[in-house]
Amino acid sequence: MPANIKVKICGLTRPEHVLAAAEAGAAYAGFVFFAKSPRHVGVDLARDLALEAPVGLAKVALVVNADDATLDTITARVPLDMLQLHGHETPERVAQIRARYGLPVMKAVGIADAADLAQIDTYGAVADQLLIDAKPPKDAVLPGGNGLSFDWRLVNRKYWPRPWMLAGGLTPENVALAIQMTGARQVDVSSGVESAPGVKDTTLIRAFVAAALR
């Protein structure tokens, strides 16, 4: 029986790509609120995209070390189903955000080697979900969305009580193998469904979701 995989397409900036993700069978759409990102959306655009998203597509706001004022504005204006914290938020800050906004929180953890896996337990105690992503290079401008993968063997056959999503360098070509090697039940992609940084590609979105769900 095919596994019930959930797919998140992150960094969406255009309504046709939100629709393509939903029609292909993605479960989550991610909107990036990070000014240095080529995928950055302001609150007004994110609101329009979220309002046009088909019912059933969960809308996720990705923020990086956001303060309360920023989160107050985003959550007041954009209809959301989840917050994704992709910076250096402490476990205390994760718990605070979760309590303040009443939305499920997914905390990103960057993995380069086995020592990094401890974060999964630390943040698993306070977050609703975890995004297990490649650790960005030291000089990277972006803390995520760099199209880099980590050694999937690090998470092979591991069990964590919180739902988690595999991310980092996934593509239509490698996502099936990544799922098979890690046992992930959820996958997240950004660069791998783009024709250029920040430019999503409908054909690649469809191919990625099909490969993940097959």
Pairing mode of beta strands 82-85, 58-63: parallel
CA–CA distance, 9 with 98 (Å, rounded to integer): 22
Nearer Cβ to ligand LARABZUK, position 182 or 190?
190
Contact flag: residue 53 with ligand LARABZUK (CB under 6 A): no
Q: Which of 123, 117, 125, 126 is nearest to 153 (CA)?
A: 117
Reported in sequence order, the residue ranges of the chain that DSSP labels E, i.e. its strands, are 6-9, 28-33, 58-63, 82-85, 105-111, 129-134, 164-166, 186-189, 194-196, 199-200
Q: Which of 37, 75, 119, 129 binds ligand LARABZUK (CB under 6 A)?
A: 37
> Across-strand partners of 105?
83
In DSSP terms, 99 is beta-bridged to none
Q: Which x/- pattern over 148-167 shows residues binding ligand LARABZUK (rule: CB under 6 A)?
A: x------------------x
CB count within 10 Å of CB 113 equals: 10
Site membership for ligand LARABZUK, residue 186 (CB under 6 A): no
Catalytic annotation present for 68: no
x/- letters, 93..132, toward ligand LARABZUK (CB under 6 A)? ----------------------------------------
**81 catalytic, yes or no?**
no
Task: Give the interface with ligand LARABZUK as residue ranges (CB under 6 A).
Answer: 10-11, 30, 32, 34, 37, 39, 62, 64, 86, 133, 142-148, 167-170, 188-192
